[in-house]
């Protein structure tokens, strides 16, 4: 890509699919959309709100996938619902479990495309890393997903469906008729850090996260959801206002010259513009710190001078700096910084008063670590030469 090539939002949004003889999927609909759909299928308007509440609980609290078990609805009504609707989530094609317990799901969505979802169990939490697009329009030079051209945006159903399929696999739905388990949740946190740029699929991501946060369903606090963006500046305020989750930003460099190469969206919105949007975020979203993600690339962005510049840049922003040791992938044009270098970098940041955790690579043996995701089936991939040329190497 040349510096003046505009980064376009070349995104195909497929219409909400009408599976199996035109039956509409209820998964992924907002409450309002579900209400409209139920009314269109003959539900009396006066009852519609209550029916949405009941069906919502069955789908998102109890995890049912058909209408027969919805015993608080009349039999005839359940039959009508089955004629018009389905409750459908994407299919898990394969599941790999890493030595460290990380699980990677290969998920097939409509059209035969595939995305990956990763579950990372830790002692105090279980984090699900979900994808928002098949591929990515952006071409960050250190990211495996960036070598795969964008195929399409995921729908809200496909996004929230990733949470549901992980709960299926982990057995995290209460038995019908039993009270929800009280023990610690298995999926306690969601990070939008899988494949794709979530802010280039804003509406579907927002609607899916609203479903995840809805108290009558999956009921995750907005503070347990983190959206990671490469820096789509115009959508950052909207994220605060319409989603209100925590924000992470793929920062990765401390000068525009280097960031232009690593995160090419920087040519559209540079570091100064990005920081301005980030400064406003905590207040707008009434949330705490912003996570600055910083991938450690040997000899590229890992000097003491970079660490000091980073501190100067983010001064005044409540922040945590998450250092990510670079995860290699076949053909990747960078190397991971040495551990000694990463620790020295972390130390400078820590001494300036910021938390600077080093992200332990998880699931590397199954290519589930940050930036390693890429669906093997997509053929529209770039060559090593193209990646190097785009990175200006
Ligand atoms: N598109 C979004 C979210 C997905 S990427 C974004 O860019 O923020 C999730 C995180 O993994 C980002 O911080 C990304 O920069 C980082 N990442 C990508 N490739 C990586 C790699 N090979 N090694 C380590 N981190 C990587
Ligand atoms: Fe896309 Fe994020 Fe990868 Fe950049 S780091 S190519 S924005 S998925």
For residues 139 and 374, what is the distance between their CA atoms, to the nearest angstrom?
13
DSSP string, 303-337: SHHHHHHHHHHHTTS-EEEEEEEPPP-TT-S--BP
> Ligand 2: which residue has its CA nearest to atom 4?
140
Cα(250) to centroid(ligand 2), Å: 9
Cα(29) to centroid(ligand 2), Å: 27
Judge contact between 144 and 371, C-beta under 8 A: yes
> Ligand 1: which residue has its CA nearest to atom 7?
230
**pLDDT for the residue numbered 175:** 64
Cβ–Cβ contacts within 10 Å for residue 215, how many? 9
For residues 197 and 45, what is the distance between their CA atoms, to the nearest angstrom?
38
Chain centroid to Cα 103, Å, comes to 16
Q: 3-state DSSP: the chain helix, strand, coil percent, rounded to 5? A: 40, 20, 45
**Mean per-residue pLDDT, 222-247:** 96
**pLDDT for the residue numbered 384:** 44
Cα(346) to centroid(ligand 2), Å: 23
- Tens of pLDDT, residues 57-109: 999 999 999 999 999 999 999 999 999 999 999 999 999 999 899 999 999 99
Best substitution site from 138, 159, 193 to test ligand 1's pocket, by max atoms within 8 Å of Cβ?
193
Nearest Cα residue to 236 out of 284, 192, 188: 284
Confirm whether 370 is a catalytic residue. Answer: yes
**pLDDT for the residue numbered 210:** 98
From the CA of 137, give the closest atom in ligand 2: 1
**Residue 224 carries which DSSP code?**
G
- Tens of pLDDT, residues 294-332: 999 999 999 999 999 999 999 999 999 999 999 988 888
Per the model's pLDDT, the better-predicted residue between 3 and 131 turns out to be: 131
For residues 382 and 250, what is the distance between their CA atoms, to the nearest angstrom?
22
Least confident of 24-28, 192-196, 286-290: 286-290
- C-alpha Rg value of the chain to the nearest Å: 22
**pLDDT for the residue numbered 57:** 96
For residues 358 and 246, what is the distance between their CA atoms, to the nearest angstrom?
19
Nearest Cα residue to 196 out of 371, 324, 333: 371
For residues 372 and 85, what is the distance between their CA atoms, to the nearest angstrom?
36
Best substitution site from 143, 253, 375 to test ligand 2's pocket, by max atoms within 8 Å of Cβ?
143
Alpha helices in 58-201 (DSSP H): 75-84, 156-170
Q: Is the pLDDT of residue 2 over 50?
A: no
Cα(295) to centroid(ligand 1), Å: 8
Mean pLDDT, rounded, of the chain: 88
**Mean per-residue pLDDT, 162-180:** 80
Domains of the chain: 24-86 (1.10.150.530), 91-386 (3.20.20.70)
> Ligand 1: which residue has its CA nearest to atom 21?
371
> Ligand 2: which residue has its CA nearest to atom 6?
146
Least confident of 90-104, 256-270, 298-312, 369-383: 369-383
Confirm whether 33 is a catalytic residue. Answer: no
Cβ of 306 below 6 Å from ligand 2: no
Q: Is the pLDDT of residue 385 over 50?
A: no
């Amino acid at each position: 890509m040349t510096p003046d090539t505009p980064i376009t939002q070349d995104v195909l949004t497929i219409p909400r699919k009408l599976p199996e003889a035109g039956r509409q999927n209820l998964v992924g609909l907002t409450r309002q959309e579900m209400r409209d759909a139920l009314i269109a299928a003959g539900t009396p308007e006066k009852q519609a709100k209550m029916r949405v509440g009941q069906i919502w609980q069955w789908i998102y609290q109890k995890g049912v996938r058909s209408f027969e078990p919805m015993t608080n609805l009349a039999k005839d009504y359940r039959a009508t619902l089955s004629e018009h609707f389905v409750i459908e989530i994407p299919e898990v094609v394969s599941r790999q479990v890493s030595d460290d317990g990380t699980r990677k799901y290969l998920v097939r969505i409509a059209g035969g495309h595939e995305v990956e979802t990763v579950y990372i169990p830790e002692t105090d939490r279980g984090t699900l890393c979900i994808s928002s697009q098949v591929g990515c329009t952006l071409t960050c030079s250190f990211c495996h997903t960036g070598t795969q051209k964008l195929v399409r945006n995921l729908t809200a159903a496909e996004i929230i469906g990733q949470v549901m399929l992980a709960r299926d696999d982990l057995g995290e739905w209460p038995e019908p008729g039993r009270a929800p388990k009280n023990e610690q949740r298995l999926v306690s946190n969601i990070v939008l850090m899988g494949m794709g740029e979530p802010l280039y699929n804003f509406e579907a991501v927002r609607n899916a996260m609203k479903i995840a946060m809805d108290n009558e369903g999956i009921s995750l606090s907005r503070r347990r959801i983190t959206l990671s963006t490469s820096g789509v500046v115009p959508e950052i305020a909207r994220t605060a206002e319409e989603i209100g989750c925590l924000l992470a930003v793929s920062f990765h460099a401390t000068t525009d010259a280097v960031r232009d190469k690593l995160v090419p969206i920087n040519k559209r919105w540079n570091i100064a513009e990005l920081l301005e949007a980030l400064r406003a975020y905590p207040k707008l979203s009434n949330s705490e710190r912003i996570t600055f993600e910083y991938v450690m690339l040997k000899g590229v962005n890992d000097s003491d001078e970079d660490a000091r510049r980073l501190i100067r840049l983010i001064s005044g922003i409540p922040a945590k700096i998450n250092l990510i040791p670079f995860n290699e992938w076949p053909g990747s044009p960078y190397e991971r910084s040495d551990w000694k270098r990463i620790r020295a970098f972390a130390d400078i940041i820590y001494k300036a008063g910021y938390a600077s955790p080093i992200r332990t690579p998880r699931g590397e043996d199954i290519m589930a670590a940050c930036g390693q995701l890429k669906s093997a089936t997509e053929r529209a991939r770039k060559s090593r030469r193209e990646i190097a040329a785009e990175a200006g190497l």
